[in-house]
Amino acid sequence: MNLAHLHLLLNHFPIIGTILALGLFITSFIGKNDDLKRSALIIFAAIALITLPVFFSGIGAQRAVRKDPGVSTAVIDRHEGAAILAMFLMLITGALALIELWRRRRIVTEKPWSGNLLAILVFSLLTTGVMARVGTTGGDIRHPEIWDVRDVTQETGISAFVHMFEPTPSKFTDLMLVSKYWWAFMMDLHFLGLALLIGTVGILNLRVLGFEKRLTGASLHRLMPWALAGFGINVLTGTLAFIGMPSYYAFDVAFWLKILAVMLLGLNAAVFYLTDAFHSVEQLGSGEDASRFAKLIAGSALFLWFAVLTLGRYIQSYADTIPLR
Amino acid sequence: MYILRGAEKTESLLGQGEALVPPTFLRSIEDSGFSTWLRESESPFAFYFVLLFHTFGLALLVGANAVMDLRILGVAREIPLAPLKRLFRIMWIGFGINAFTGVLLILAYPTKALTNPVFYTKLTLIALAIWIITLLRDRVFGDASLDEIAMMARGATLAKWSLFLWVGAISAGRLLAYTYKYLTYPC
């Protein structure tokens, strides 16, 4: 299995996942079903996370398909430009969904609508539409027999309109490398995000494991928006850095293990919030011991965050460890 | 191959005859076996291992301090303030790791670090941030007679300075990777 396989395997999730979640989301308003709404929000967030490796593995597929003289670079660039736009829309949708999930936990609202819900609807509709374009432009790369015009890179109609918002991949890359101070600034934000994330997530996990039992679980859980802010900063700056030097990261074994650890952290969070581990932590009073299950989740989260740090640190020394074939 | 604009090596400056020659003790350190090993070894347990622990230390020290600062400034008020005293222990562990690994990083690249003004800026910011930690410990958490409101009132300015200084120290540290004049002693 190589990056091209990974790309072909994972690329269906963002396209089908957004359609599925959007369907559930709209149905939840018609049926006035809050559980359905919550499910849709969780799927939006999960799909946003999975979109990252789909995007990062694209360059492996590009390298593989470029060996075929019948494939033009312009057709690949068209797909990549669409993919960059779709990924950022998906990340915005996922971030808004997480904010909504946080708010729903705190406030029981009678109002069926809010600005945030409307924003999620708008961004998920945009994401679904642009994802469809990513799928079709991706299919066009290897299947000229289905092209409906002689040259698909000459956009017309609605495609031409969407195309105006799609970045040119090589220009985006150059932009990220325009100055060493811009790069230093992104890396700086990545480290500030790291400190914020580890600090807030760390104290909650340590408490669950038994550190300073006078602190209650529910009170420490109030730090979660700050942890998500740190995570959001790092997803954004990390993705921009990837766009700046795609083949530096994509052919690095430490980078892929780091992404795997981030995916496992997503799974860890899902297990935490969707099982009774969460209630056990929310009800963790002063002096009390957390359940063994909650401790297992907290311990593995701490381990995985430090694995993310470690693997991130070793990206530089493991460049070009995935062979190009 | 990616070219980051402005990040080309500046060692060509030397040929101009005007550049000051760095003190020779820097070369002596660099020539030592340990420094050479740290810098040049292919082992994953050499330079990058030290750098990794420097990052762990940062996460513990700044992460714990930031949580304390945010709570003093009114974030997540449900968290009882006094028990956060335990965070000082995590901060001191982080600081210990970073003082030790920091010395190793200087030993690996003495010329790179010590000829860069940003390095001294970073050390100054860290010294001030550590001083703020001792003030938080003595004035806010050291006085058992204070209630939460009084602790927050007394710690607010310190907490703001603490966050500001850590942002500065981390930023200066990151800049070290991009602003050095010499990577190693110029021959």
Sign of the CA dihedral with A90 first, then A91, A95, and A101 last: positive
Phi–psi pair at A66, nearest 5 degrees:
-65, -20
Query: A262 near A312, Cβ under 8 Å?
Result: no
Extract the tokens encoding B165.
């200084």
Which among A236, A78, A91 has a CA at the least distance from the CA of A168?
Answer: A78
The two most distant CA atoms of chain B are separated, in Å, by 65
Query: B136 near B146, Cβ under 8 Å?
Result: no
Per cent of chain B over pLDDT 90 is 81
pLDDT digits (tens, 9 = 90+) for A237-285: 999 999 999 999 999 999 999 999 999 999 999 999 999 999 999 999 9
Confidence of residue A107 (pLDDT cuts 50, 70, 90): low
- The residue behind tokens 């020539």 is B31
Q: How many residues does chain B have?
A: 187
- The identity of residue B152, as a single letter, is M
Cα separation, B12 vs B88, whole angstroms = 46
Contact check, Cβ <8 Å, A220/B4: no
Cα separation, A27 vs A16, whole angstroms = 17
Give the SS3 label for residue A284.
coil
In B, what residues contact A, Cβ < 8 A? Answer: 2-7, 44, 48, 51-52, 55-56, 58-60, 62-67, 70, 75-76, 78-80, 82-84, 86-87, 166-167, 170-171, 173-175, 177-178
Query: A87 near A18, Cβ under 8 Å?
Result: no
Interface probe, candidates B4, B53, B65, chain A, greatest A C-beta count within 10 A: B4
Listing DSSP states for B108-172 in one string gives: HSHHHHHT-HHHHHHHHHHHHHHHHHHHIIIIISS-TT--HHHHHHHHHHHHHHHHHHHHHHHHH
Is 70 exceeded by the pLDDT of residue A99?
A: yes
Query: A235 near A193, Cβ under 8 Å?
Result: no
Cα separation, A126 vs B171, whole angstroms = 36
Cα separation, A115 vs A117, whole angstroms = 6
- Higher pLDDT among residues B7 and A167, named by residue: A167
Contact check, Cβ <8 Å, B3/A188: no
pLDDT of residue B34: 95
Contact check, Cβ <8 Å, B58/A218: no
pLDDT of residue A108: 66
Residues 6+ apart with CB under 8 A from A113: none
pLDDT of residue A261: 98
Listing DSSP states for A258-279 in one string gives: HHHHHHHHHHHHHHHHHSTHHH
Which among A35, A203, A179 has a CA at the least distance from the CA of A104?
Answer: A35
Extract the tokens encoding B96.
């210990």
Contact check, Cβ <8 Å, A202/B64: yes
Q: Which residues of A touch B63 (CB under 8 A)?
A: 195-200, 202
Q: Which residue of B has its CA nearest to A230?
A: B63
Which among A252, A259, A249, A318 has a CA at the least distance from the CA of B48?
Answer: A318
* Mean pLDDT, rounded, for B135-145: 94
pLDDT digits (tens, 9 = 90+) for A46-78: 999 999 999 999 999 998 888 888 888 999 999
- The residue behind tokens 């100054």 is B124
- The identity of residue B45, as a single letter, is F
| CB-neighbour burial class of residue B3 (10 A; exposed 0-12, middle 13-18, buried 19+) | exposed
Interface predicted TM-score (ipTM): 0.92
Q: Which residue of B has its CA nearest to A196?
A: B63
Q: Which residue of A has its CA nearest to B87?
A: A203
Q: Across the interface, which of B44, B67, B80 has its CB nearest the CB of A199?
A: B67
Query: A133 near A82, Cβ under 8 Å?
Result: yes
Is 70 exceeded by the pLDDT of residue A324?
A: no
pLDDT of residue A109: 65
Residues 6+ apart with CB under 8 A from A80: A58, A62, A169
Q: How far is A175 from chain B (nearest CA, A)?
A: 10
Sketch out chain A's domains with CATH numbers.
1-167 (1.20.120), 168-325 (no CATH)
Is 90 exceeded by the pLDDT of residue A127?
A: yes
Is 60 exceeded by the pLDDT of residue B163?
A: yes
Cα separation, B30 vs A157, whole angstroms = 64
Extract the tokens encoding A239.
């993705």
Is 90 exceeded by the pLDDT of residue B81?
A: yes
pLDDT digits (tens, 9 = 90+) for A181-218: 999 999 999 999 999 999 999 999 999 999 999 999 99
